[in-house]
Amino acid sequence: MNEGSTSTARAIEFWFDFGSNYSYLSMMRVEALAAARNVTIVWRPFLLGPVFRQLGFENSPFVLQKEKGAYVWKDMERQCRKYGLALTRPSTFPRAALLAMRIALLGANEPWIGAWCRQIMQLNFVGDRDIGSIDVVSEALDSLGLPVQSVLDAAQSDANKLRLREQTERAISKGIFGAPTFFVGGEMFWGNDRLEDALDYCDTIVARQ
Amino acid sequence: MNEGSTSTARAIEFWFDFGSNYSYLSMMRVEALAAARNVTIVWRPFLLGPVFRQLGFENSPFVLQKEKGAYVWKDMERQCRKYGLALTRPSTFPRAALLAMRIALLGANEPWIGAWCRQIMQLNFVGDRDIGSIDVVSEALDSLGLPVQSVLDAAQSDANKLRLREQTERAISKGIFGAPTFFVGGEMFWGNDRLEDALDYCDTIVARQ
């Protein structure tokens, strides 16, 4: 883990959940945008469900508020068209993806983290696959050439499970209330709409030093 | 009133409330952006309070959710810096502005509507003045060279009061759940972040015809 990296110049913390539709938009864009600006991504998978429950919501606000929920999928269609991304509205939303999230945490500093995250997001938001199932997760690991059983075992170790709970607690203590959320030098940016602003902010910090 | 204008090509409906902070950002930008694209603005003041209550919120989500509320004012600071807008966090939020809203409805097709709306927004979000008070409203009317008493009388007529209630009911029936909201050719766009997309959408409609 790279816990101290928030203070590193030219680094962006990317807090996401695979079930989050606006996290999908950022996930598919962040690596190219960050690379173009020479910014390092610090991957921060966390569980949005416990964050919502902490805030008093029993489900995604996009489910609880039907007007907002209806709008969000129109917005997603338009946003995906703008970014050139495919989209299939998942037949289950939000989709729990605990095992895939544990693998993302396990691989947060591994070279395959970006590919893993994009793969899972595309399975959910393009393939409409059940990313909560061990079969789909195993298939995704295999398609990336990763050792399926050893990754599953490590992801499901007590230590890794605990780390994901702790990371989710950290999200709450940092004031995170949705996903995606970005941090750059202690500044919080919420939502895919702020990804570019967050990356631009890296330049501000460097200029100050 | 220009009720049929939603179907007019190159027109954007701008639904706003003077108490809404993100409406402030759009208000200060919409006229220049629309003019540059030859798009007509259809001004749609409505009361956000009854909309929130209809959705089950007793106040602005930015007040009810303290984490989001704390974030929103950081976001506002950054957004205002980006757009070159002044900002003072209002000491009362959200500020009720019923009389000023009634005047906006009264003037929705008048040449002074844009100036009126910007004036009230600046009094609230820059001057931190009580835009709910008749004194501040009268001062604002006077500063624009408008006939104070006759405007106040017309704004407070039963007919105009009823029209604002009806316009708010229409907002609810159109699925509006926040402000600002834009409609272009029946498509809904929510939030200041979508103002440019909404204006771009005017070109799509024209291209289709």
Beta-carbon-side half-sphere exposure of residue B43 (alpha carbons within 13 Å): 26
* Structural domain range at position B187: 3-208
Judge contact between B83 and B25, C-beta under 8 A.
Answer: yes
What domain count does chain A have?
Answer: 1
The pLDDT value given to residue B79 = 98
The pLDDT value given to residue B64 = 82
Structure confidence at residue A60 as a pLDDT band (50, 70, 90): confident
Separation CA B87–CA A83 (nearest Å) = 32
Tell me the count of A-B CB pairs closer than 8 A.
Answer: 41
- Better pLDDT: B190 or B9: B190
| pLDDT at residue B118 is higher than 60 | yes
Q: Name the residue facing B190 among A55, A71, A189 (closest C-beta).
A: A71
Q: Which helix (H) or strand (E) holds B14?
A: strand B11-16
- List of chain A residues whose C-beta atoms are within 8 Å of the C-beta of residue B176: 67
- List of chain A residues whose C-beta atoms are within 8 Å of the C-beta of residue B68: 177-178
Cα–Cα distances (Å) from B165 to B59, B106, B172, in that order, read: 18, 13, 11
ipTM for the whole complex: 0.89
| pLDDT at residue B209 is higher than 80 | no
Q: Both tokens of residue B81?
A: 């810096």
| pLDDT at residue B60 is higher than 90 | no
Cα–Cα distances (Å) from A11 to A40, A168, B40, in that order, read: 5, 20, 42
Are residues A188 and B82, on separate chains, in Cβ contact within 8 Å? Answer: no
**Scanning every residue of chain A, which has its alpha carbon at the shortest distance from the alpha carbon of B81?**
A197
Across B97-125, b (16+ Cβ under 10 Å) vs e yields bbbbbbbbbbbbeeeebbbbbbbbbbbbb
Percent of chain B with pLDDT over 90: 86
Separation CA B28–CA A168 (nearest Å) = 38
> Across all residues in chain B, what is the average pLDDT?
93
Judge contact between A134 and A48, C-beta under 8 A.
Answer: no
Give residue-wise pLDDT tens across range B159-184.
Answer: 999 999 999 999 999 999 999 999 99
Give residue-wise pLDDT tens across range A139-156.
Answer: 999 999 999 999 999 999
Structure confidence at residue A205 as a pLDDT band (50, 70, 90): confident
The pLDDT value given to residue A61 = 80
Residues 6+ apart with CB under 8 A from A126: A86, A87, A88
Helix axes A113-125, A98-106, angle to 10 degrees: 160
- List of chain A residues whose C-beta atoms are within 8 Å of the C-beta of residue B175: 67, 70-71
CATH number at residue B196: 3.40.30.10
Cα–Cα distances (Å) from A160 to A102, A135, A166, A204, in that order, read: 7, 20, 10, 35
Q: Name the residue facing B67 among A65, A74, A177 (closest C-beta).
A: A177
The pLDDT value given to residue A56 = 85
Give residue-wise pLDDT tens across range A97-135.
Answer: 999 999 999 999 999 999 999 999 999 999 999 999 999
Min distance A175 CA to chain B CA atoms (Å): 6
| pLDDT at residue A6 is higher than 60 | no
The pLDDT value given to residue B188 = 98
**Scanning every residue of chain A, which has its alpha carbon at the shortest distance from the alpha carbon of B62?**
A177
